[in-house]
Amino acid sequence: MLLLSSASIRLKEDAPVRAGAVAPVTSVKGGSVIVRRHSYFDVLWHWVNFFALGFVILTGMQIYFGWPFLAEYAVVRGIHFTLAIFVALWNFPVFLYYSAVSGELPYFLFRLVDLRRALYDFKAFLGIAEEAEHNTYDLEDGRYFRKYNAMHKMHVWVSLILLLGLGTTGLSLWSDYYAFLSGWVGNIAVVRAVHLNLFYIFLFFNVGHIYFASVPWNWRTMTKSIFNGVAVAKLHVKVGKESEEDRF
């Protein structure tokens, strides 16, 4: 826990609201600040999504592999479909709309420059290069500078695309009414195979997400905030002229 000293600088409470603006708490010594990284709705959204997806995965595994560890097949199939519809609504209309109106969406957008930053991040993970700057706080501007790294952005959009694929193939498997969707890839057996492989890819990306969120340096500065909304961020030091797009 960080101890605040009398020399700490109190941040402006009337900071202008712009894309990606956050509510600063107070600054601390050592070139870092404590900020509200996530709103209360961010925290709620994340954990509702986590548990909903968890039960979709568990029910899906019982349906596909026949493991009778939850309930009867018909009950599990109904739960799986209902939660899958909920996850689709929770991730697309709710998440995307909230990200847009809250000013968070610019931080999530994956740009061409993020391909280069992702390469830097991968090299940094291997210990052969420095990580591209992210998760720093611009004290003068009152908001984050590159709140999420390139790999995190990639995870968000790849997960959404995979959810679209899983939803499309899942509808075809759920009811004959959507059987025409199987014609896009061949037959129902191919749809089942595609659905299962998309699930494995989705699981791989999200297990990776949990792993990287759990490593000590990420846990201290970012991951803990998904429980209480508050995080520690290093101060961003401006070098030359920065465009609005540079900060995302």
Does residue 59 belong to any structural domain of this protein? yes
Does residue 112 belong to any structural domain of this protein? yes
Does residue 11 belong to any structural domain of this protein? no
Does residue 5 belong to any structural domain of this protein? no
CA dihedral in degrees (40, 42, 48, 49; nearest 10)?
Answer: 180
How many folded domains does the chain comprise?
1
Does residue 15 belong to any structural domain of this protein? no
Quick: pLDDT tens for 95-136: 999 999 988 999 999 999 899 888 888 888 788 887 778 888
pLDDT, average across residues 71-98:
94
Does residue 211 belong to any structural domain of this protein? yes
Point out the least confidently predicted range of 32-41, 110-119, 134-143.
134-143
Report which of residues 27 and 216 the model is more confident about.
216
Does residue 231 belong to any structural domain of this protein? yes
pLDDT of 10 above 50: no
- CB-neighbour burial class of residue 234 (10 A; exposed 0-12, middle 13-18, buried 19+): middle
Does residue 246 belong to any structural domain of this protein? no
Quick: pLDDT tens for 145-158: 889 999 899 999 99
Which CATH number covers residue 122? Answer: 1.20.950.20
Query: pTM for the full model?
Result: 0.85
Structural domain including 154 reads: 23-237
